[in-house]
A = this chain, B = another copy of it.
Amino acid sequence: MANLPDQKPHVVIVGAGFAGIYAAKTLGRAPVRVTVVDRHNHHLFQPMLYQVATAALAPSDIASPIRSILRRNANIEVLLGEVVSIKPNERVVLIDDESSLHYDYLIVGIGALNTYFGHNDWAPWASGLKDIDDALEIKRRVLLAFERAEREPDSVKRQAHLTFVVVGGGPTGVEVAGALAEIRRYALLRDFRHIDPRDATVVLLEGGPRILPAYPESLSRKAKDTLRRLGVDVREQTMVTAIEPDAVHAAGWRIPTRTVVWAAGNTVSPLLASLGAERDRQGRVLVDQFCNPPGMPEVFILGDAAQFTQDGEILPGICPVAIQEGKYAARSIMATVRGKQRIPFRYFDKGQLAVIGRGRAVADIRRLHFGGFFAWLAWVFVHIFFLIGFRNRVIVMIEWAWSYLTYQRGARVITGEGRPRPEPRS
A residues with CB within 8 A of B: 40-42, 58-61, 63-65, 67-68, 71-72, 77-81, 97, 99, 132-133, 136, 143-144, 147, 150-151, 188, 190-194, 391-392, 394-395, 398-399, 402, 408, 410-417
Interchain CB contact under 8 A, B398 and A133: no
Interchain CB contact under 8 A, A391 and B395: no
A192 is contacted by which of B67, B399, B415 (Cβ under 8 Å)?
B67
The complex places the Cα of A299 from the Cα of B43 at a distance, in Å, of 51
Interchain CB contact under 8 A, A60 and B413: yes
The complex places the Cα of A150 from the Cα of B66 at a distance, in Å, of 14
| Interfacial chain B residues near A72, Cβ < 8 Å | 190
| Interfacial chain B residues near A191, Cβ < 8 Å | 65, 67-68, 71, 78
Interchain CB contact under 8 A, A77 and B193: yes
With both chains docked as a complex, state the minimum distance between the C-beta of A264 and any C-beta of chain B, in angstroms.
24
Please name the 5 residue pairs, one residue from A and one from B, whose CB atoms are nearest each other, closest first.
Answer: A67-B191, A58-B58, A60-B411, A80-B147, A63-B413
| Interfacial chain B residues near A133, Cβ < 8 Å | 415-417
Most chain B CB within a 10 A radius of its CB, from A80, A413, A414, A416: A413
With both chains docked as a complex, state the minimum distance between the C-beta of A402 and any C-beta of chain B, in angstroms.
6
Interchain CB contact under 8 A, B413 and A80: no
The complex places the Cα of A154 from the Cα of B60 at a distance, in Å, of 32
With both chains docked as a complex, state the minimum distance between the C-beta of A413 and any C-beta of chain B, in angstroms.
4
The complex places the Cα of A414 from the Cα of B394 at a distance, in Å, of 21
* Residue of chain B at shortest CB distance from A76: B193
A42 is contacted by which of B58, B81, B132, B414 (Cβ under 8 Å)?
B414
Interchain CB contact under 8 A, A412 and B79: no
Interchain CB contact under 8 A, B147 and A41: yes
Number of this chain's copies in the complex: 2
16 residue pairs of the A-B complex, CB under 8 angstroms, read A40-B414, A58-B411, A65-B412, A65-B413, A67-B191, A77-B193, A78-B193, A80-B147, A80-B150, A99-B151, A132-B415, A133-B417, A136-B415, A395-B399, A395-B410, A416-B416
The complex places the Cα of A65 from the Cα of B65 at a distance, in Å, of 28
With both chains docked as a complex, state the minimum distance between the C-beta of A325 and any C-beta of chain B, in angstroms.
25
| Interfacial chain B residues near A71, Cβ < 8 Å | 190-191
- Tell me whether A413 and B41 are in contact in the complex, defined as CB-CB below 8 angstroms, given that A71-B190, A391-B402, A402-B391 are known contacts: yes
* Residue of chain B at shortest CB distance from A392: B410
The complex places the Cα of A71 from the Cα of B193 at a distance, in Å, of 9
* Residue of chain B at shortest CB distance from A58: B58
The complex places the Cα of A415 from the Cα of B136 at a distance, in Å, of 9
Interchain CB contact under 8 A, A61 and B59: no
| Interfacial chain B residues near A59, Cβ < 8 Å | 58, 413, 415
| Interfacial chain B residues near A68, Cβ < 8 Å | 191, 408, 412
The complex places the Cα of A413 from the Cα of B58 at a distance, in Å, of 11
With both chains docked as a complex, state the minimum distance between the C-beta of A188 and any C-beta of chain B, in angstroms.
8
The complex places the Cα of A402 from the Cα of B147 at a distance, in Å, of 36
The complex places the Cα of A150 from the Cα of B413 at a distance, in Å, of 33
| Interfacial chain B residues near A413, Cβ < 8 Å | 41-42, 59-60, 63-65, 132
* Residue of chain B at shortest CB distance from A191: B67
- Tell me whether A391 and B415 are in contact in the complex, defined as CB-CB below 8 angstroms, given that A58-B60, A61-B58, A151-B80 are known contacts: no
Given contacts A68-B408, A80-B151, A391-B402, 19 further A-B contacts (CB under 8 A): A41-B412, A41-B413, A41-B414, A42-B412, A58-B61, A58-B411, A59-B415, A67-B191, A68-B412, A71-B190, A78-B191, A80-B150, A99-B151, A133-B415, A133-B416, A133-B417, A136-B416, A395-B395, A395-B399
* Residue of chain B at shortest CB distance from A57: B60
The complex places the Cα of A80 from the Cα of B150 at a distance, in Å, of 9
Most chain B CB within a 10 A radius of its CB, from A60, A77, A192: A60
With both chains docked as a complex, state the minimum distance between the C-beta of A54 and any C-beta of chain B, in angstroms.
13
The complex places the Cα of A145 from the Cα of B132 at a distance, in Å, of 21
With both chains docked as a complex, state the minimum distance between the C-beta of A318 and any C-beta of chain B, in angstroms.
23
* Residue of chain B at shortest CB distance from A131: B415
